[in-house]
C-alpha cells in the first residue's frame, strides 16, 4: 500500500510518523508538514530526525506554505520545539532524510502522480494542502485510493473551546473549514477517524505507567517523552486533555480490524459560530466514520510496533 503522510506537528503527529515507519506492508512515498498545531521549522526538522532514527529507508519531506483561518493556541504549538530538541533525536548531530523544495501540496501531487498504483493519503492535521492540490491538479483524484483523515465529529461536543465558537467543531476542521468543504466536494473516498473513536483512547496515567516500564525500547522511551509534555486525563476532561488522536489514525491504516466503521452522509459548516462542524445530513456526501475502537487491541498493536523499532 502506498501511503503519503501530511501532518501538522502536534506531539501525536510525530508518534504517528514513527509508527508508519515501522509498518512493513506500507510504502511511505512522502511526508509533508503544515504549520498548524506546531511551528514549521521544528516540525519539519523533527520529522526528518524521526525518519533518520526510526525509519528503515529514506523518505522525502516537504514543507507546507499553507495558512489557516483559525490558529491553534501557541501553548500547543510550542510542543514542536520541545520534541525537536529531544536528545534522542539529536544524538547524531545531523539530518539526512531528503528534502523537497516543493511546497507540500505540490509535493503531494508529484508523489501521487509518480507512483504506478494508487496512493492512500493520510492526513493528521487540517486538509488545506489536499484542498490546494485538488484545485491545482484535479487529475490526481483518480490516483488517490482514499483519504484517511483524523478530523471532525458528529458528536454534539467537539474539542474547540474558543471565543465566538459554539464548541461543536473538531480542531483540524476548524483550522481551515473551507479546505474540508473542498475535499467533501471531491469524489475521493474518505475514512474519517473522528472524535467518536479517539475519545475512547485518552492519555491516562495507566498508559504512561505501562510505557514507562518499557522505556528500554528506544521508541517507547521517545513516545513517553512526547506524552510527558501534555496533561493526562485524570478526573475530568479539560481543554488540554490529550487523546491518542493521530496515533489511532495511523494504527487504523496499518490494522483496520481494530475499529468499527459506518457510513454517514455529511456536510461541513464553513462560517459563523459553528464553522468547522461536520454534521449529519441525509443529502450530504457519504463518509466512512470510524466511530469505535478495540482499545486493548490498539494498545497491544502500537506497543508491538514500537518494540520492533
Ligand atoms: O483535534 C485533534 C488534533 C489531532 O490531530 N489536534 C491534536 C492532534 O494532533 C488538535 C488538538 C485538539 N486538542 C488539543 C490539540 C490539545 N489539547 N493539545 C494539542 N492539540
Ligand atoms: Ca495533528
Instruction: From 37, 74, 83, 180, give the residue whose CB has the most ligand 1 atoms within 8 Å, as the site to mutate.
Output: 37
* Residue of 136, 66, 61, 133 lying closest to 97 (CA atoms): 61
Q: Whose CA is nearest to atom 1 of ligand 1?
A: 171
Confidence of residue 241 (pLDDT cuts 50, 70, 90): confident
Residues 115-145 have pLDDT tens digits of 999 999 999 999 999 999 999 999 999 999 9
ipTM of the complex: 0.99
CA of 70 to the centre of ligand 1 (A): 14
CA 89 to chain CA mean position, Å: 20
CB of 246 closer than 6 angstroms to any ligand 1 atom: yes
Say what the pLDDT of residue 131 is: 98
Give percent of the chain with pLDDT exceeding 70. 100
Ligand nearest to the CA of 244: 1
Is residue 292 within 8 Å of residue 196, measured between CB atoms?
A: yes
Domain count, the chain: 1
Contacts of 146 (CB under 8 A, 6+ apart): 120, 121, 188, 189, 190, 191
Instruction: From 5, 8, 10, give the residue whose CB has the most ligand 1 atoms within 8 Å, as the site to mutate.
Output: 10
Looking up cell 470510524 gives 290
Looking up cell 443529502 gives 283
Per residue in 256-270, is it b (16+ CB within 10 Å) or e — as a string? eebbebeebebbbbb
Calpha distance 161→168 (Å, rounded): 9
Residues 39-97 have pLDDT tens digits of 999 999 999 999 999 999 999 999 999 999 999 999 999 999 999 999 999 999 999 99
CB of 70 closer than 6 angstroms to any ligand 1 atom: no
CATH code for the domain of 235: 3.90.245.10
Domain that holds residue 303: 2-307
Calpha distance 309→306 (Å, rounded): 5
Which atom of ligand 1 is nearest to 11's Cα? 9
Residues 146-181 have pLDDT tens digits of 999 999 999 999 999 999 999 999 999 999 999 999
Determine the 3-state secondary structure of 263 from DSSP. strand
Amino acid at each position: 500500500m502506498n501511503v503519503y503522510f501530511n501532518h501538522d506537528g502536534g506531539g501525536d503527529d510525530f508518534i504517528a510518523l514513527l509508527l508508519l515507519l515501522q509498518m512493513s506492508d506500507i510504502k511511505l512515498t512522502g511526508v509533508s508538514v503544515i504549520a498548524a498545531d506546531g511551528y514549521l521549522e521544528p516540525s519539519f526538522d523533527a520529522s526528518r530526525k524521526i525518519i533518520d532514527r526510526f525509519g528503515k529507508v529514506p523518505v522525502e519531506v516537504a514543507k507546507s506554505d499553507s495558512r489557516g483561518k483559525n490558529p491553534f493556541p501557541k501553548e500547543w504549538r510550542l510542543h514542536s520545539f520541545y520534541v525537536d530538541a529531544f536528545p534522542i533525536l539529536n544524538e547524531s548531530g545531523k539530518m539526512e532524510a531528503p528534502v523537497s523544495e516543493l511546497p507540500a501540496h505540490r509535493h503531494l501531487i508529484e508523489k501521487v502522480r509518480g507512483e504506478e498504483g494508487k496512493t492512500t493519503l493520510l492526513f493528521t492535521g487540517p486538509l488545506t494542502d489536499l484542498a490546494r492540490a485538488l484545485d491545482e491538479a484535479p487529475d490526481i483524484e483518480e490516483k488517490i485510493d482514499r483519504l484517511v483523515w483524523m478530523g471532525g465529529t458528529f458528536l454534539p461536543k467537539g474539542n474547540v473551546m474558543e471565543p465566538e465558537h459554539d464548541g461543536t467543531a473538531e480542531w483540524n476542521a476548524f483550522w481551515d473549514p473551507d479546505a474540508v468543504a473542498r475535499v467533501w466536494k471531491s469524489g475521493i473516498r474518505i475514512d474519517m477517524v473522528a472524535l467518536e473513536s479517539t475519545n475512547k483512547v485518552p492519555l491516562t496515567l495507566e498508559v504512561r505507567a505501562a510505557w514507562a516500564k518499557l522505556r528500554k525500547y528506544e521508541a517507547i522511551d521517545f513516545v513517553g517523552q512526547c506524552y510527558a509534555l501534555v496533561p493526562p486525563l485524570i478526573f475530568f476532561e479539560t481543554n488540554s486533555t490529550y487523546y491518542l488522536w493521530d496515533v489511532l489514525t495511523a494504527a487504523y491504516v496499518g490494522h483496520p480490524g481494530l475499529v468499527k466503521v459506518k457510513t454517514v452522509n455529511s456536510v461541513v459548516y464553513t462560517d459563523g459560530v459553528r464553522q468547522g462542524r461536520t454534521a449529519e445530513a441525509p443529502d450530504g456526501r457519504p463518509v466512512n466514520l470510524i466511530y469505535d475502537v478495540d482499545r486493548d487491541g490498539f494498545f497491544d498493536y502500537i506497543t508491538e510496533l514500537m518494540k520492533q523499532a
